[in-house]
Amino acid sequence: MHTVDMTPLGLFLSAGWVGRSVILALTLASIWCWVAMIEVWLGHRGLNRALKAASNGEAPALLAGVERAGAEAARLHIAAESVAERRARIAEAMGREAEVVMMRLERGLPALAMIATAAPFIGLFGTVWGIMSSFMGIAASQDTSLAVVAPGIAEALAATAIGLVAAIPASLGYNRLAAALGHAGQRLRHHVESRAVALGIGPASPTHGDG
């Protein structure tokens, strides 16, 4: 009676070249998923710390570009510019840099979305291919007993299981981290608005934007 080694290594070694390719791809996708989640989580934590430090009057390195853009915009004096227009211009300059910060922190999210979407289908492909191979083997051996059918089917279904192992954390991680970064991004926008108000009050340099 043929028994199936259900360990990850056993499933990999007992599979054909297509099954092995699927298992290897899903394993790499799972590793990539966790690396991306850790990267995004660390970025989110760093942004929260930077915003907290900025609220305490410190100058965190993560927001240095945002602060520099605001300071440069505040140094520019445009004739006949109202205080509201000056603040809006400063906020726009700081907002562009804030978007750069957020894009850098969110760069791991597309990978999570892709893995969450594609991994189950890659696993399903491996399962379908494995079942087809099992039935072709049954036809060749002319033996339809459960002892012959079950091992091949079990090995084929393992591809779907591995696909779900990669997809479920990616889906949960994407939803959780996207929401967390959304809240952090809102806090960053509020920080930009408050800094623009503060910088808009300060005296402008004699440099004229209208020549």
Chain segment 22-33, per-residue pLDDT in tens: 888 999 999 999
| Separation between Cα atoms, residue 4 and residue 194, nearest integer Å | 64
> 121 vs 78, which has greater pLDDT?
121
Is residue 77 a contact partner of residue 208, using CB atoms and an 8 Å limit?
yes
Query: Cα(154)–Cα(142) distance, rounded to whole angstroms?
Result: 19
For residue 35, count other CB atoms closer than 10 A to its CB: 12
Strand partners, 77: 208
Phi (first) and psi of residue 208, to 5 degrees: -110, 135
200 burial via Cβ count (<10 Å: 0-12, 13-18, 19+): buried
Alpha-carbon span 112 to 29, nearest angstrom: 9
Q: Is the pLDDT of residue 177 over 90?
A: yes
The pLDDT value recorded for residue 196 is 92
Six-digit token string for 91: 């906020």
* Lowest-confidence region among 19-23, 59-63, 70-74, 194-198: 19-23
Question: How far apart, in whole angstroms, are the C-alpha atoms of residue 182 and residue 86?
Answer: 27
Average the pLDDT over 41-53 and give the result.
Answer: 95
Phi (first) and psi of residue 209, to 5 degrees: -80, -10
Kind and range of the H or E run holding 91 = helix 83-105
Question: What's the pLDDT score for residue 210?
Answer: 46
How far apart (Å, rounded) are the C-alpha atoms in residues 52 and 31?
A: 32
Q: What span, in angstroms and rounded, lies between the C-alpha atoms of 139 and 116?
A: 36
Q: In this structure, what DSSP letter does residue 125 have?
A: H
Helix (H, G, I), strand (E, B) or coil at 77: strand
Most confident of 73-82, 111-120, 133-142: 111-120
Q: For the ranges 31-35, 99-103, 155-159, which has the lowest average pLDDT?
A: 155-159
d(CA 185, CA 190) in angstroms, rounded, equals: 9
| 17 pLDDT tier (thresholds 50, 70, 90) | confident
142 or 92: which leads in pLDDT: 92
For the chain, give percent helix, strand, coil, nearest 5.
80, 0, 15
Among residues of the chain, what percentage have pLDDT more than 70? 83
E strand spans, 44-176: none
